[in-house]
Structure formats: structure tokens, C-alpha cells
Structure 1
Amino acid sequence: MNTTDSPRRPYHHGNLREALLDAAEIAIGSGPAYEISLRELARTVGVSHTSAQRHFANRRDLLDALAQRGFDRLGAALSEPPDAFALSFDARLVRLARSHVSFAIRHPTLHRWMSEAMSLADASASLLAARDRAFNPAAAIFADGQAQGAVIPGDPEHLGLASFAAVQGLIALSPGGRFGGVVLDTLVGDVIERIILGLRPRS
């Protein structure tokens, strides 16, 4: 990370943790996450390394916090507005998938790091909990769909996982938010439509 090219941010009391996370989110866009230096990030935001260590013991601590903040943001993006509960299961699932795609397109480097952090064998319990909270809306949608007779029986969290995996795969295969020149917002509707057909109860 080249600190001479990064704008020096003023440090305001009580905001250093967020400032360091903001700087880390910018840094992962220009190189591997594990090349980030906590010392360099501290210099970028205009504080000492010691000050930064009051919030993050080391680089891994900071990167875990960055991924957790990403899942908190994703969870907010996936939360349903009050009027969504009047929609059909199909409409709610498509809305959820499009919200996920929209988040990934708006925050590509953060979304990529969230996936990388979850792939680590020693992912922390707090990070796993943040991921589960982010996708709670999906489980709720599937549970409601089962109650309405629109979805096959089964663990709603597992059914939600299948949809999440399909959307996540589509995002991974579509750099820049397009696949074969087609925008993801269009493609995700087709993908979810096919998932919904597979979820229909059999007579």
C-alpha cells in the first residue's frame, strides 16, 4: 500500500476504529488483504501505530473486523421493509437475491474479502455469527414460504443456503456486474426462477 498516494484523513476522537476500517477497505482494492500493514494504515489516517493497536491487536484482528462489518452491512441490505411481508414467496426471494447482487456490485472488494475471510479454516466465532445474522432474512422467507405451502419441507436455513450459493456463484462469475454482457440484475431473476421451480411442493 502506497501511503503517499492516499489522502491523509483527520482523526476525530472516538472515530479511529471506523477510520482504520475505511482505510483497510480501500487498501484491499489494490492488493491482497494479507499484504495490508496496520502500521501503514495508521499512518494513512494520521495516527500512531500504538493508537491503532488500541482498537486492533494485529492485521488479522482488523481484517476480521472488516469482514464482520461487511456482513453487518449486507444484513441491513437484505432486511425486508414492512410491506414486503404482503408479497408472495417468489417476489420476496427475487427481491432478496437482487439486494444481495446490488450490495456486491456497490462494494466489490469488500464483498470479495468477506468470501475470502469465510473460507479460512480458523474463521472466528464472531465472524461466523455475523454471517449467520446477515442471512437470517433468507431463512425467514423460506419458513414463511413453507407455511404458505409454496416451498417443499426441509430446514429453511439449508434451503436458503442453496439460493445463496447460486447467487454467490453468479456474482463470482460476473466481474463488473455483467455476465456475457448481460447485467446481473436481469440474470439473477432467471436464476431464482429456476430455483423456485425446484422448491415447489410435489403433488
Structure 2
Amino acid sequence: MEKPKKNIEVTRFLNTAIRDGVLNPQAIGQESLSRLRLHILIKEQSLTINLKAPNLSDNVFQRISRQLDVVKKFSQQTASITAENIQLSAKQIDQKIERLTEKDRELNEQIREIKSEVKKLSSRTANPDEYNKATTKLNNANKELSNNRNNIYSHRAMKLVLKEQERQQTKSVRRESVDQSPRRQSVSQVTSEPRQSVAQKLSTPIFST
């Protein structure tokens, strides 16, 4: 039996499916279906969080909305698949979010400085090569900021999915403990005894010879 695909492979598979608007779960392999289901749940929550971000342009809002509609369709399509459990704890996820948030602040500061530099180099007397280098640097910083923000959204989404998984596990444990409790068993025995006595009475001949 093959091992499940790595998370980065599942992410690429899902992103391609979202881009194409079509998901073929079997294409990723039977052993990776639970991991795919987990990624779909996280992606759905992540896009929902992203959609609520402030200052989104109309184009970005429409793009995220379309992606969310596609992922919701994938979620319905894979509803019968049990998702893989998240291995990180809520504390570990919070720590990761803190580090990403700190990086977000640092990137914003860098971008402000680069924008100031680009503005200075935009004059007619400035060196065109220096201006091009600065604008390339700004574009790269903006891309890194966007990726970092998406990473923050993904980890917030992961925390929501983890909370739901823990809720379902707690619910399942409670159900099992109720089913196995002495009170439940004794009630089951009591209700079964009259049935046995009735069965015995019915099996006894009514007339004796």
C-alpha cells in the first residue's frame, strides 16, 4: 500500500482542481483521500476568512468568491470521506500565527520603505536601472506579503477545523461512554427479561394432558 501524498503535493493537486473547476478525487489515490478532504475543509474556511479581509478590491473579492464557490462544491462532493485529523495542537497553531503576524508587520514596514525609495527614483533625473530594481523589489515584497497573509488565513482556518474535529471526537466519546455505562446495560437487561418470560409462556402448552 502506498503512503499518503505529502501536504505540498495535496495542496498543488487541490489548487489545480480549483483553477480548473473540476475535482477528480480518485486521481490523487485512495490512500490520500482523507488528507485531500482535510485540505478542502481548511481551504473552504481560509477563503471564507480571506473574503472578510478589509480593503479588498472588487476584482480580488470576485476572484475569492468564485474560488469559494468551487471549493464548496468540492466539499459537498467529498462529504462522505472522513478527513485526516490535524496533528498540530491549538497552541502550536497559535504560535505559528503569532510568528506569521510578526512577519506581516515586518513586511509592511519593508514595503513602506521600498515605496519611498521608488518615489524618489521616479524623477526624471534618477537612474532608470535603479528605479527598475526598486520596483522589482517592491513587487517581490508585495508577493511575499500576499503569501504570508494567505498562510495566516490557512492557519486560522486550520484552528477552526481542529475545533470542529475535537468537538466531534468529544461527542463520539460521550456517546460511547453512555452506551457502555452500567445503567444503560442494566436497563437493557431489564427490558429483555420480560420478553424472555413472555416467550416462555407462549412456548408452554395451554392444555395439559
On whether the aligned pair clears a TM of 0.5, the verdict is no
TM-score, length basis structure 2: 0.27
Compare CA radii of gyration and give the structure with the larger one: 2
Counting helix residues as a fraction of each chain, which structure ranks higher?
2
Q: Which has the higher contact order (CA 8 A, sep 6+)?
A: 2
